[in-house]
Amino acid sequence: MHPHLTDAPIVLSELIRELLRRSDGAVAAFVGVVREENEGLPVEAIDYSAYREMAERELAAIERELELEFAGTVTRIRHRLGTLAVGDESVAVVAVSAHRREALAACGEGIERVKARVPVWKREHGPGRDPAWVDPRHGRSPEADSRRR
């Protein structure tokens, strides 16, 4: 089994090289990056943490599901942990297939499932405010809203 969680930078070309077969004619990739603003507040960095065992199991399950649902595709999901700065890659989903439709569909569905199901937690750091936990599905936590300045 390959690792899904990493403390090292995500290298998209390496993920593609792991997957690409001679029969593939399509590569679809989604890469999420830390942005400088979230819900109107400036962001300097985000801490990503996870219950590794559970997150690894769920990421592997998502890959298996995608490969069964989108015939002929092979997928890889990699999520970064640790403190990431603006512009750093936080998550990548790559799907390869003989045809673009399957690759694009598997890639898009993959990131949606990661966001909905994988226990990876985000804590945002911004200037002039305490770090705030962010729900990847619903935005900033209620206590963060009370800290807006």
Q: Sorting pLDDT into bands at 50, 70 and 90, what band is 138?
A: low
Here the CATH number for the domain that contains residue 55 is 3.90.1170.40
Provide the strand spans (E) within 51-144.
74-80, 82-85, 89-97, 120-125, 132-135, 139-140
SS3 annotation, 119-131: CEEEEEECCCCCC
78-94 tens-digit pLDDT: 999 999 999 999 999 99
Domain count, the chain: 1
pLDDT band at 69 (very low <50, low <70, confident <90, very high): very high
Q: Domain range spanning residue 30?
A: 5-145
